[in-house]
Amino acid sequence: MSSRRILSLARRVIRQVLRDRRTVALIVVAPLLILTLGAILFRSTPAPIPLGIVNEDHGITSPVGGTINLGQRIADELAAGDTFTLVALSRNAVDDSLRDGSLQAAIVFPEDFTTQFLDDRQAVLDLRLEGSNPTRSLAISAQVTQAAMRSLASLAGTAMGAFPVAQAGEGKLPVTLHATYLFGGQEFDAMDFVAPVYIAFLGMFFVFLLACVAFLRERSQGTMERLAATPATRADIVLGYMLGLGLFAVIQVALILFYTVWVLKIHYLGSLGLLFLVITLLAVAGVTMGILASAFARTEFQVIQFIPLVIFPQALLGGLFWEVADLPAYLRPFAYLMPLYYANRAMRDVMLKGWGLAEIWPNLAILAGFIAALVILSALMMRREVA
Amino acid sequence: MTADDVVQTNDLHKRFGPIHAIDGVTLSVRRGEIYGLLGPNGSGKTTLIRLLLGLLRPTSGSIRLLGEGVPNKAILGQVGYMTQASALYEELTVRENVAFFAEMCGRKDRAWMDEVIELVDLQDRSRSPVRTLSGGLRQRTSLACTLAHRPRLLLLDEPTVGVDPQLRATFWSYFRRLADSGVTLIVSSHVMDEAERCDRLGFMRQGKLLAEGTAAELRRQTGTSTLEEAFLQFAAAGSTEGGSR
């Protein structure tokens, strides 16, 4: 061991890193970028959840004076917080609104809601949940129960206190939640919700790196120059890569699907074939993204740098950890630029809602559009190499 | 200019920013000829070859290859290009590399591939992955890939670098055989003794074609006994001329 040699070595290493300006920039920029994104996402106040209110409650007119409408009171209590934005609608419109995403949940107060409460001293809340996101379903259920409890407690000081009421059972809460689910259900857990997106992300991530490195090596080992001097065109090369690496993407997708469905026992609705199609499309997009990205890398180390710069933001913004609808409005457009976002939507629609091709085709069409655009872009980026 | 001209350039210029890499090269190479591009490193040999292939666009001037204008992807199927550094797929075997380049040019002929692999004396290693080969063996594989599709025109950029003298002799006798069968070859080199084997030579320096002719002619013109001395004479003359311009 020699301190002089160690110093010389260290100096050489420092010099090499400094010569690679991109690495220096990355060391500075990447952690800040990721931290900033994280801070924005963790600190963002969630957008109010659209909650439907079907209030058919006739209420009751007290002998002492005044009308009491319990349904209205609970609704007012729910509206008071900033958790929900209330939407009044009719009973028939509930499921349609849940399906098209304009509502996350709806409460139905039947016409005898107030009288029923007076008779039983028990409010039975009929909560209809969209249900595909179990974490969110739980949160909504808890919030609704709490709001109902608060509004019942406030009754004590009103004319309601004068009503003769049957004694509720000991220790029994005055509010019972009767939750029904449009999609999913209570047996769906958080993993069931995350799995579709996870699968899609993994399907894309590895082939992206594979394509990026393979294409980079084509250039660094000089074979791109050789290919350029054959009749092979840029389109030939990009499509050849897509087909070749696409095979591995398909094998990997099949493996991931098999494992999640049969080994990890993820709940899913919809057809496996359709899931396979969605992930395969995304994986092919991943191949073309890799080819495109390789044009911006000179070394394999620079390919690794794409993980914090290209892959990680996609995970953060494309719906892997946060639902895109919950992102701050100024971040959402970035999600719309990511193929992952459309794959995620299609995956969740199929796995959690059981939707078919008829419903998810717009997302597939957008994915196909991304692939076409990426093929053209990466062929254009090869201009310098293949005349 | 005759119908026999396989390669023709007319007042070719290529600039990279302030660098004049190719400076007014007018060249014609006949069918079945071995044309040697001779010059030191950085004299523009590789740039000229890449221009001929259409891998670079000339700043000005024109190129015709096998009777067609350049760039033209279709004619590249009849051209064999050997790069200076061996450009091969490391994971693939020798034979797989040869087959791949033949397929890229739209021609795969098993018997011919065998012949080509035998020519570079790699029949025993044809199933070895390229990554296990030494530098010389790679260079041989690279030549085999260049010949794999029976090209009519060969552009070889320093093909004998790292090849031992015995194999170099084999290469050259094979180049001669190809030329006799009507294949045209442009071979760049900075090794003067190889130049003796070419039908015609072009001395290159600083992007200019200083002189052309057979080895004997070039020696006679300068009254020197070796090509090396002849080159130095032309280079000196070129410098003074270049200085006055």
pLDDT digits (tens, 9 = 90+) for A297-312: 888 888 888 888 888 8
**What's the mean pLDDT in A172-182?**
82
Q: What confidence score (pLDDT) does residue A177 get?
A: 86
Q: Pick the residue with more confidence: A62 or B127?
A: B127
Q: Please judge whether B77 and A221 are an interchain contact, meaning their C-beta atoms are less than 8 angstroms apart.
A: no
State residue B216 phi and psi, 5-degree precision: -65, -45
User: For residue B196, what are its two tokens?
Assistant: 């003796």
Residue B105 inside a domain? The answer is no
Within an 8 Å CB–CB cutoff, is residue A300 touching chain B?
Answer: no
Q: Where are the domains of chain A?
A: 49-181, 189-384
Say if the Cβ atoms of A387 and B57 lie within 8 Å: yes
**Closest-CA distance of chain A to residue B93, Å:** 15
CATH code at B51? 3.40.50.300
| Whether pLDDT at B1 is above 80 | no
B242 found inside a domain: yes
- Does the structure show a pLDDT above 80 at A65? no
ipTM: 0.88
Predicted confidence (pLDDT) per residue in A23-37, tens digit: 888 888 888 888 888
The residue behind tokens 């025993």 is B124
> DSSP string covering B93-129, please?
BHHHHHHHHHHHTT---HHHHHHHHHHTT-TTTTTSB
Dihedral angle sign, alpha carbons of residues A259, A262, A265, A267: positive
Cβ-Cβ contacts under 8 Å for A197 (sequence gap 6 or more): A318, A319, A320, A344, A347, A348
Structure confidence by residue, pLDDT tens digits, B151-177: 999 999 998 887 788 888 888 988 999
Rounded Cα distance between A284 and A115, Å, is 60
The predicted model gives A208-226 an average pLDDT of 90
pLDDT at B209: 92
Lowest mean pLDDT among A152-156, A185-189, A308-312, B238-242: B238-242
Please, which residues 141-170 of chain B have a Cβ atom closer than 8 Å to chain A?
145
Is residue B36 assigned to a domain? yes
Q: A336-361, pLDDT tens digit by residue?
A: 999 999 999 999 889 888 889 998 99
Q: What is the pLDDT of residue A42?
A: 83
* In chain A, % of residues over pLDDT 70: 93
Please tell me if residue A232 touches chain B, with a CB cutoff of 8 Å: yes
What is the structure's pLDDT at A164? Answer: 44
Q: Residue A170 — very low, low, confident or very high, per pLDDT cuts 50/70/90?
A: very low
Count structural domains, chain B.
1
- A183-208 average pLDDT score: 84
Distance from CA of B191 to the nearest CA of A (A): 23
Look at the block and give the residue holding tokens 């094998």.
A251
Higher confidence at residue A68 or residue A257? A257
Averaged pLDDT for residues A89-106 = 89
pLDDT at residue A364 tops 50 = yes
Greater model confidence, B125 or B107: B125
| Tokens encoding B98 | 């040869």
Beta-carbon separation of B87 and A230 below 8 A: no
B129 located within any domain: no
Q: Is B162 left (phi over 0), alpha (psi -120 to 50) or beta?
A: left
Domain A49-181 class, CATH top level: alpha beta
Q: How far is the C-alpha of B179 from the C-alpha of B182, rounded, in Å?
A: 5
Domain that residue B232 falls in? 1-66+190-245
Provide the mean pLDDT of chain B. 89
Is the model more confident about B242 or about A124? Answer: A124
- B142, with CB counted inside 10 A (0-12, 13-18, 19+), is buried
Comparing B201 with A301, the larger pLDDT belongs to: B201
Q: What is the pTM of this model?
A: 0.81
Q: What is the pLDDT of residue A147?
A: 87
Please report the pLDDT score of residue A156 as a whole number: 65
Q: In which residue are the tokens 């993204």 written?
A: A289
pLDDT at B31: 93
Residues 6+ apart with CB under 8 A from A310: A208, A289, A293
Phi, psi of B59 (to 5 degrees): -70, -40
Q: Do A229 and B77 touch (CB under 8 A)?
A: no
Predicted local confidence at residue B224, as pLDDT: 86
So what's the pLDDT on residue A28?
86
Q: What is the pLDDT of residue A152?
A: 81
pLDDT at A132: 83
pLDDT at A387: 45
Identify the residue among B70, B76, B98, B156 best suited for mutation to test binding to A, counting A beta carbons within 10 A and taking the highest.
B76
pLDDT of residue B61: 93
**Distance (Å, rounded) from C-alpha B44 to C-alpha A339?**
45
Q: What's the rounded mean pLDDT across residues B209-223?
A: 89
Instruction: Answer yes or no: is B184 within a domain.
Output: no
CB contact under 8 A, A231 and B145: no
**Nearest CA-CA distance, residue A250 and chain B, Å:** 22
Between strands B79-82 and B5-16, the pairing is: unpaired
The whole-number pLDDT of residue A167 equals 46
Domain assignment present for B8: yes
Assign A359 to helix, strand or coil.
helix
Say yes or no to pLDDT of A172 above 80. Answer: no
- Residue B104 belongs to some domain of the structure: no
- Cβ atoms of A336 and A363 within 8 Å: the answer is no
